[in-house]
């Protein structure tokens, strides 16, 4: 008998994250729901988490080594984040 690992649909997504703002700045890196580690083009580290909400959206929160932060939501098709200056970041999880 062959056994398969069952995927839990209630978990948060993992993979490679890539976000870009309107001025072509980007942050990217690997992660799973509990621990996401991103790096921007200047070498700053961003650490964050993904939490599944009750309406099946996923809330992302990231904080950089400089004290900056980005947070936002995903509905399964894409991710939209906003930073403390009001800039919008769009991205995806591959």
Q: Which of 88, 32, 43 is nearest to 65 (CA)?
A: 43
pLDDT at site 2: 67
41 vs 11, more confident: 41
pLDDT at site 4: 60
Q: Is the pLDDT of residue 78 over 60?
A: yes
Distance CA 5, CA 50 (A): 22
- Mean pLDDT value across residues 51-57: 88
80 vs 7, more confident: 80
User: 66, 82 in Cβ contact below 8 A?
Assistant: no
Query: Which of 1-5, 13-17, 32-36 is predicted least confidently?
Result: 1-5
Tell me what the pLDDT averaged over the chain comes to.
86
Distance CA 37, CA 12 (A): 15
Please report where in the chains the tokens 């894409």 appear, as a residue: 78
pLDDT at site 93: 87
- Mean pLDDT value across residues 18-25: 91
Domain boundaries, the chain: 15-93
């Amino acid at each position: 008998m062959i056994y398969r690992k069952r995927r839990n649909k209630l978990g948060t997504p993992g993979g490679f994250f890539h976000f870009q703002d309107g001025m072509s700045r980007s942050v990217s890196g690997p992660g799973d729901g509990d621990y996401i580690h991103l790096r921007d083009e200047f070498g700053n580290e961003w650490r964050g988490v993904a939490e599944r909400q009750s309406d099946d959206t996923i809330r992302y929160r990231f904080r950089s080594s400089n004290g900056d932060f980005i947070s936002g939501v995903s509905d399964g098709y894409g991710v939209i984040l906003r930073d403390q200056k009001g800039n919008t970041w769009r991205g995806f999880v591959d």
